[in-house]
Every structure is written in C-alpha cells, then in structure tokens.
Amino acid sequence: MFEKPQAEHSWLEPLLGDWLTEAECQMGPGEPLHKSTGETRCRSMEGMWYLLEGSGEEPEGGRWSTLMTLGYDAKKSCYTGTFVGSMMTHLWLYTSGIISEGKKLILNTEGPNFHGEGMTSYKDIIELVDDSHWILTSEILTDEGKWQQIVTSHYRRKT
C-alpha cells in the first residue's frame, strides 16, 4: 500500500537544510519594490514530500511566514505541491510541474490577478545554482499574454 519515492524525488534533495533568504517583490512597472530577509528550513517526509518553512521580516517591520510543500506525483508524471503565506489568503496549488534544463523546476499554478479582475496563471521556478544557493522566481501571466517576473528570492545555505 505504501508508495515509495521515485527517482524524480531526488531532484528535491538539494533543498534540504537551513537557508538564509533575501527576497525582492515588485508587482508591476511603477509599483514599489519590497525587500525582505528571513530564514527557511527544508525537511523531508521520508523522501516523498519536502516541506519548506520560512519566516522573516520586511525592513518596515512587517513579519511574514510561509509553507511550501513539494513532491512528485508518479501517476501524473509531474511535480506537485502547495504554497501558503501569512501575507495572503489564497492557497496556491502547484500542478504539472516539470524539470527544465536539469537545474530548474517549473511549477504552474493559478491565483488572483493583481493587475485586474478574476484569476490568472502564475509559475514559480526553482533554480538550483549550486549546493549552497538556489533561487525561487515567481511570474504572472499579464493581460497582454506575457510572463512578468514579480518575485526573486535567493536562498543561501546557512550552515
């Protein structure tokens, strides 16, 4: 009855550990740039799921916390997961995630359209730079049908 981690799960192993986080967020041209720092811990649930728990603060003093889950769905042949943050009420569901160029995991999701009404497509991209550095970027699909980068977070190994 118990499923076992697949070879694809091993792609997530470099995320394990304690990380210092530096993030920049800009929701669109002319919008203010928000910077924040924090820490993230990634742990594994027996190699099947990876949980990334983050917390930190913005220079203006606002605290934040996040929880990302990542795994591989062997039946659907794709990476999947979730994301929640204390700064929003939307539960982000990652679907049809794929590995690109061997170093990038592209996770597709849908969320509130910050540039208009309703919902729109997003993608979060995890790029493994080396054993002690990875980058998470978030992009939104604009009303013009173009991908616009809105968040860049650098994770550097703490220990």
Give the domain range for residue 67.
7-157
Per-residue confidence (pLDDT) for residue 103, from 0 to 100:
93
Residue 40 domain flag: yes
| CA–CA separation, 146 and 133 (whole Å) | 28
Percent of the chain with pLDDT over 90: 77
Express each pLDDT in 51-93 by its tens digit: 999 999 877 778 999 999 999 999 999 999 999 999 889 999 9
Alpha-carbon distance 155 to 158, whole Å? 9
Domain presence at residue 2: no
Find how far residue 158's CA is from the centre of its chain.
Answer: 18
Q: pLDDT value at position 135?
A: 98
Strand partners, 65: 55
Task: Give the predicted TM-score (pTM) of the model.
Answer: 0.93
Rg of the Cα atoms in the chain: 16
Residue 25, domain member (yes or no): yes
Do residues 34 and 58 lie in contact, with contact meaning Cβ atoms separated by under 8 Å? yes
Please report, for the domain that includes residue 107, its CATH number.
Answer: 2.40.128.20
How high is the pLDDT of residue 7? Answer: 95
Residue 137 lies in a domain: yes
The predicted pLDDT at position 114 comes to 78
Report yes or no on 114 lying in a domain.
yes
Number of domains in the chain: 1
Domain membership of residue 11 (yes or no) is yes
Does residue 67 lie in a domain region? yes
